[in-house]
Structures are given as structure tokens and as C-alpha cells.
Structure 1
Amino acid sequence: MAAMLAGCGVATASPPAKSPVPSEPTLINYVDPSMVQGMSTRSLTPEASKGRRVHATYPAISHAPLLTEKLRETVAESLDRFTRRKVSRGALPRPEFNVDWQLAAASPEVLGVRLRIGQSMGSGWRESRTTVWYDRMSRRALDSPDLLKNGTALATLTGLVRKELALRGPLVNPSALKPIPEMFDSIGFNPRGDLVVEFDDEQVSLGVTGRVAVAVPSATAAPLLSATGLRARDAAVGTATLTSQEDLLAARGDRPAAHSSKAGGVDCARVRCVALTYEDGPGPETGRLLNVLGAHGARATFFALGSNASARPELLRRMRDEGHLVANHSWSHRDLTALPPALLADQLTRAQYVITQAIGQVPTLMRPPYNTADARVTSTARRLGMSVVRWSVDAEDLRDPDPRAIARRTVDRIKPGSIVLMHDVHDATVDATPEILREIAAKGYTFVTVPELYDPHAMEPGRTYDSGTVSDVLKNQSMP
């Protein structure tokens, strides 16, 4: 089963040293997105989640607006189908929709973006895979079948792939494969230049959820490729990335623990302190938020997503340089309690690697997506040296587009030692921040990072914190 349903690792930044060509021919290595000029990320949020857990992010490239729009449309269509599906009231576990992405290739001539769209309606997890290509020469956004010359090439490729699937055993159904573009919507290339076709869960397998992929040797595939396909193959050759969790852990080296460069001058046992926290970024609004915080002399804690951080590491460095604290919010915002141990660890470890590489410091805090954590999550956090941070004040900025309402709700709920939840990927949140800062400061509060709420008592890895209300630390809880 492991050999038949071989999967590829989550994308992360490429290490400086060259990695060996993987022995599994269907493994696709990925490009470090920070190497692509004009790269950022965008998020889609449904108007009403209806109790569902939704996180949908896709890349945006400033010089390839047609590619960005095609990616948005692809994600939006999948999200719309998900939100239209009926769910019984009170169903557990809660339905979840998640979009992860990787750069399958990048060169001066071509870009490739692989979307991994996963969803669960409460039982089982199913993933679909789509790779979209952008030909910089012709300025066209293309579907994967457009890498082939024509319909004849598609029919030939179908026959080649069927023959390989026939060798996979009774759990794979070669006859399910048809020479239609919809079944070849994720075509990429491994570092050797072999063409890799991958399928959605259960698309060509009999009730088995998992990635099924076939590699066609480069020499065999070359005559089938269009001019764009040949450029895409050349762009993918030699691409290298980390694939083992051990390598990711080792990459941290002897880096120091993440900390605020401006911490140490505030005693939260004597003055009113509040910790503003922002999560899900960095995104297109993060730079503007940093401008606002800087103008008010306020510091915050940023729980960054690894996938977003890999695209905008310069924003994480700016956070560090301006006295903020950078922490871990997982790689792609999956519900960690719904994952098996290996995937749970992978979500946190890969985010640790990307953040560490960006800021030169190892995060010591993590926040679980959707605020869901169990004993397995806290145990994994402990092993990785991170405390679990929740919150005591929810600005509810995800559901409310009105900056004034966000600000009023936040200010009214603040108490000494509060940890405030907000999101730096929403423009309304950034718009609300100046008022939040002015009114809270007027009440005599000082803005600090989360660990400063607990100083001089160090936060412990694996322990959960939701406010700075420890009695022997915050004596001012009884202040009038």
C-alpha cells in the first residue's frame, strides 16, 4: 500500500545544499516561493461558514494576474461546492475544507502552481489535486492538459498511464481512467524530467483514499509535450526541497529561541498589560498592520502559517526587527486533532523550519488552528519546545467586516492580562487596529508580547495559556 499510494511531501523552502533525486519517481519537489518576485498570498472566506472549518489560501503573483485569477476561480468553485453540501445539525467532527499549495516549477519562462484541496464532511478526508500553469512567454494561464500537444497526445498518455496502473494491484482500477482533460488536471514533473500524473482520492482507486500517481519517463513523454510543456519540464528539472521530518528538525541547528528584541522593560505584575495576537498571516495586509503598530509604539505576537511565511519571509524579518514576536500556527491550518500523529507533527515541524529560516530564531509558542488541541497536540508541542497559546478576548473579526464594531467589541472586553485574537489577513482588522490601540492605551494599558505577561515565570513547553491571569504574576487583577 505504501508503495502503491505514494504521496509527496508538503512544500517548504529549499535547503541551501542540493538534495538527491528521490528514489520514488512520482515525488514532485517544489520551489521556494520566496525566490519568486512579486509572490504573496490571498485568502477566501465564505460569507457564512455554518459551523464548518474553512481555510482557503492560494498564491498571488503580481506580474501574472491571469494566473492569480485562475487560481482564485479554482479555489472558489471548490469552496462553493463544499459550502452547498448539507450537514446534519451538530455533526461531529465538524466539516473541514482546506487548501494547500506548492510551486511545482518556476523559471523565467513558466510557473506551475499545485493546489491540494482537501475536505471532510465529518468522516474521512478526501483530497483533490490540480496543477495550474502560467506560460510567461505567451502570458497565458493554462490547465495541466494544455502541457500536451493535442487530443492525440492525451489519448497516448492515457494508454501509458493505464498500463502502469494495471501493475498496481486490485485496489487500483485502470478502466476508470478516460482520455478526458478532467482526469488529467494535475500534471507535473519530477527532478529527472519525468512527467508525473497524479489523481484525486478515489478517482482511479477502489474506495481507497490516498494519492495515486504515475511517472512517465522523460524520453517517452517528450514527444507528447507542447512548447509550454517542454518549458515546464525544463523548469522542474533539478528543483530540490526537504522531504524528511528529521532534516527539518536538524535544520533548526543551534538557533536561539524566538523573543522580542524590545522585551524586558515592562513588569506586568505592576502595570496593566495586554497582548495583541494576530494569526493566519503574513498576508497582503500585514505590512500595513506593521505600519500601524509602529506608529503607535505597540508590539504584538504573530502566529504565522508556514505556507504563507514561505512566500513572505521578509515580513517575518520585519516583525522580528520591530520588536514583535513570531510564533507557529501550523503549516496549512488543518484541524490538528483530526490528523494522525505523523501528519500532526509535520504541520508543526515544517512551519517551525520556515519561520526559523526566515528570522534566525526558533518559535517557542504555537496556536492550534480553530483553537482545537488535545493531548496529542500538546505532547507534540512539548517535544518541539513550544507552549500552546489560546486567547481570552476574541475580536470576532472573521465574521464582522465593520472596523468600528471590531474595535468596540475588543476594547469593551479587555482586562489586565488579556490575550486578544485577531487576524492580519483581513483589511477590516487592520482598519480597526488604530482605534483599538488608541482606546486601550487611553485606559492605561501597555502592549506586550505573550511571554511578557508571565515574566518572570517562563512559559513551559506543552502547557496551555489563554490569558496572563496567573495570580502570583498579575497582582493588578484586583486593581480598581
Structure 2
Amino acid sequence: MKVDQVITSRRLLLTVGGASLLCACSRAGIRVSRAPAPLASPTADGAGASDASSEEDGQGSAGPSAAADGTSPAQTATPDAAGAVPPADTPQTPGEADSMVHAGPKTVALTFDDGPNPIDTPRVLEILREHGVIATFFMIGMNVKRYPDTVRAVLAQGHRIANHTWSHPDLGTLSKDGVRNELERTSDLIAETCGHRPVLFRAPGGFFTQNSYEVCAEMGLRPVLWDVDPEDWSDPGPDTIVQRVLSSIRTGSIVLNHDGALTDGLITAPGSDGDRSQTVDALRSYLPQLIDAGYRFTVPDGG
């Protein structure tokens, strides 16, 4: 066989083999998940009726490295030399979640998960009001049902109320109908309590599945992650929370905090299950420092 014929045959074989591989990949099913950026560990505090069930929901799990089921970490924007984050398009198709805001230099977003909490949420509101700062509260539907007056207090102060599922489950264990039930029940109750439906959604632990992205798209919910996680749910101490926030924040950051937890019974006193006093004490310290450093505050959708 001539040399040019050998080369042609090999090229043909490579082309056919590559096409077959691409077809096989396109047919494979992939479970999509977004984990936090560096420093973040997925949180699911209070996800069940006890500390043991919280561990099962992922509290204290390993963080953003890729998992064996095909999950992958979130992509975050990198500030330019002037400190501005490049603009990002609004997600239009399933499989996208925001982990940064894009509202100009030194603009960030504060978010609070797993509330409301009748003890600590009002304390958070007092600090935010004192400094004229707005935030976003990703609320668990069961807690909205338990503490509707606290929900209304958040709304009355002008903060954004968002969907964080009904019962804080691992979305990877649910069918698409199961995911829809978690989101719809919560959105319906928030609408009943506040007069309007939420437009933002955060998956428990930050782990979005393909089903959850599709349901979000169908319900008009915008998926939101975060960029800074001080792991306040683990009660590392207010000083540690403060240090983690101040050392990690940058233009465009979405900061994850927790003002509540899903507990067996009502949260009735400091020190009870769901106590978030360390988060409150840390916020009281780091928020004025951020303001003095020139940071401004928005909500994750820029509204």
C-alpha cells in the first residue's frame, strides 16, 4: 500500500472513531450540580429533625471538588484590574446559577439561609436597618409557615424574600415532580404571606440538579449560589466568621449567612436548636467594616 493511502486510511479511522465517541457522550445522562467557590463547604444546617439528619443532608460535607456522580464546582467571575466584575448574561436555559452579582465596583450581596427565625432574624434586621443595608433571605417553607410574622417583618423592611425549598431536602434524592412540589409549596406560601411570589431560588447546600434547574426555568425562578461562605452554621466563633468574610470578599461577592435552621419544634429562646447568635454577632462586626471599606449592597438579581 502506498504511503498516501495509509495516511488517508488512518485519517478516516480517526474521524469515524471521534464521531462515535461524541455521539456516545451526547446520549449520556448527567446530573448537574453547582458547589460553592473556594472556601465554601455546602451547608444544610438544620435540614432534618436532629443533628444526625442534618449530617445526612450534607452539613459539613467536603466542598466544591468534583464528585463521582458528575457534579462540578461553580464558575465565578474574576475582577479586572479596576476591581469590576465582567457582566454576565441572565441565565436563559437550565443549568446556570449565579454565584456573583454584577452591579459595579465594590458592590456585594448579603444573603441569609434557612430562616426565618423569630429570635435571630429580628436581630439581623436591626443591624441591617442601622446601616441601611438590604439583603436577601432564602426561606424554608416550613419555617415560613411557623413564623409568618417574622416573614412579614423582613418584607416590611424592604428585603428580598426567596425560595429555599419546603423542607431542605437533598434535591438529588428527588424526582422532578418531587423537586417541583418542594418549590411550588414554598413559593405559594410566600405569595400568600407576602402578596407576591419569589423570583430567586437557592438549593439546599448549594447543590442544584438538572431537575431543579429545569423546574426553576419552568417556574421563572433564578438559581443563586454564593461566592463567600464563612461556614457560620458550624458555630466556629464570631471572630472566625468575621475573619473569613473580610479575607474573602471582593467585588461581586455573594456572602452566605444563616439566620435560621429547620428544627423539631419552635425556636423559642437563645441557645435552643437553630440558635444563630454567632452569625448575628459577626454581622454586627464585619458589616460596618465593609461599609467603611467602601462596599455597597444589592440583591443577587441586581434589583
TM-score in terms of structure 2 length: 0.63
**Cα distance between partner residues in 1 of 2:296 and 2:114:** 24
Task: State the match for 2:46 in structure 1.
Answer: 55
Task: State the match for 1:449 in structure 2.
Answer: 299
Task: State the match for 1:407 in structure 2.
Answer: 242
How many equivalent residue pairs?
Answer: 205
**Cα distance between partner residues in 1 of 2:158 and 2:298:** 10
CA apart distance, 1:323: 1.6
Task: State the match for 1:272 in structure 2.
Answer: 106
Task: State the match for 2:147 in structure 1.
Answer: 312
Q: Give the counterpart letter for 1:282 in structure 2.
A: P
Q: What secondary structure sits across from 2:287 in the alignment?
A: helix
The 1:338–1:448 alpha-carbon spacing in structure 2 relative to 1, beyond 3 Å, is same
1:380 equivalenced with 2:215 (yes/no):
yes
Aligned 8 A contact 1:327 1:364 in 2: yes
Task: State the match for 2:32 in structure 1.
Answer: none
1:338 equivalenced with 2:173 (yes/no):
yes
Q: Give the counterpart letter for 1:338 in structure 2.
A: T
1:285 equivalenced with 2:135 (yes/no):
no
Q: What secondary structure sits across from 1:450 in the alignment?
A: coil
Task: State the match for 1:428 in structure 2.
Answer: 278
The 1:373–1:361 alpha-carbon spacing in structure 2 relative to 1, beyond 3 Å, is same
Aligned 8 A contact 1:55 1:97 in 2: no
Percent identity (aligned):
34
The 1:385–1:398 alpha-carbon spacing in structure 2 relative to 1, beyond 3 Å, is same
Task: State the match for 2:188 in structure 1.
Answer: 353
Q: What secondary structure sits across from 2:242 in the alignment?
A: helix
State how 1:105-116 maps to structure 2 within 5 Å. none
**Cα distance between partner residues in 2 of 1:272 and 1:392:** 14
Alignment gaps of 5+ in structure 1: 1-50, 58-74, 84-93, 99-266, 456-480
State how 1:83-98 maps to structure 2 within 5 Å. 95-96=56-57
The 1:385–1:313 alpha-carbon spacing in structure 2 relative to 1, beyond 3 Å, is same
Q: Give the counterpart letter for 1:279 in structure 2.
A: D
CA apart distance, 1:358: 1.1
- Higher share of residues assigned strand: 1
Q: What secondary structure sits across from 2:232 in the alignment?
A: coil
Task: State the match for 2:288 in structure 1.
Answer: 438
TM-score in terms of structure 1 length: 0.40
The 1:316–1:54 alpha-carbon spacing in structure 2 relative to 1, beyond 3 Å, is closer
**Cα distance between partner residues in 2 of 1:398 and 1:53:** 9
CA apart distance, 1:325: 0.4
CA RMSD in angstroms, aligned pairs only: 2.5
CA apart distance, 1:53: 5.7
**Cα distance between partner residues in 2 of 1:339 and 1:448:** 32
Deviation above 6 Å: which 4+ runs of structure 1?
Answer: none
Q: Give the counterpart letter for 1:445 in structure 2.
A: Y
CA apart distance, 1:95: 3.9
Q: List per-residue Cα deviations over 1:296-341 (Å, max 9, x = no partner).
A: 1111000000000111122222222212100000001001121012
**Cα distance between partner residues in 1 of 2:116 and 2:138:** 9
Aligned 8 A contact 1:273 1:448 in 2: yes
CA apart distance, 1:451: 1.6
Aligned 8 A contact 2:43 2:204 in 1: no
Q: Give the counterpart letter for 2:109 in structure 1.
A: A
The higher radius of gyration belongs to 1
CA apart distance, 1:52: 9.8
**Cα distance between partner residues in 2 of 1:371 and 1:338:** 14
**Cα distance between partner residues in 1 of 2:137 and 2:284:** 17
Q: What secondary structure sits across from 1:401 in the alignment?
A: coil
The 1:97–1:439 alpha-carbon spacing in structure 2 relative to 1, beyond 3 Å, is closer
**Cα distance between partner residues in 2 of 1:400 and 1:55:** 13
Q: Give the counterpart letter for 1:355 in structure 2.
A: I
**Cα distance between partner residues in 2 of 1:430 and 1:401:** 13
